[in-house]
Amino acid sequence: MLKAPNPEIEYILTFDYKNAFRDIVVPKDTVVTNVTYTGSMLYFTVKDTGKTHSTFYGYMFAENTPENLKRLAIAREKREHYFRARKEIDEAYNAVDSILGPFEKC
């Protein structure tokens, strides 16, 4: 469920945070605090380091509660199944003999 950020609770990052401009990487599952929305940006502080970063992506944050972490684990497992199935489907279609279209090359 989507909610407004609450600066009073802890979140974890659901994806790696990468800032291409400053080569900053904060790995997924890092605990963050003080998540706030200001204008068009979300700001968050890494709990262990105290460093503050910004992002546009709210889906990067999951509430750090036992129930929510269980739901996140289920979602990640299903995502892994999805990508594995996509790969198998692509491989199956690639095994089918067909012809090239006008913009495809051998």
- What are the pLDDT digits (tens) for 46-86? 999 999 999 988 888 999 999 999 999 999 999 999 999 99
Q: Which amino acid is at 40?
A: S
Indicate the burial class of 60 (C-beta count within 10 angstroms; 0-12, 13-18, 19 or more): buried
> Per-residue pLDDT for 2 more than 90?
no
Q: Which of 13-17, 18-22, 101-105 has the highest mean pLDDT?
A: 13-17
Instruction: Look at residue 98 in the predicted model and tell me its pLDDT.
Output: 87
Q: Tell me, what's the pLDDT at 20?
A: 75
Q: Tokens 């199956």 belong to which residue? A: 92
For the domain made up of 1-63, give the CATH fold: SH3 type barrels. (2.30.30)
CA atoms within 13 A on the CB side of 85: 6
Residue 55: strand, helix, or coil = strand
Instruction: Please give the model's pTM, rounded to 2 decimal places.
Output: 0.75
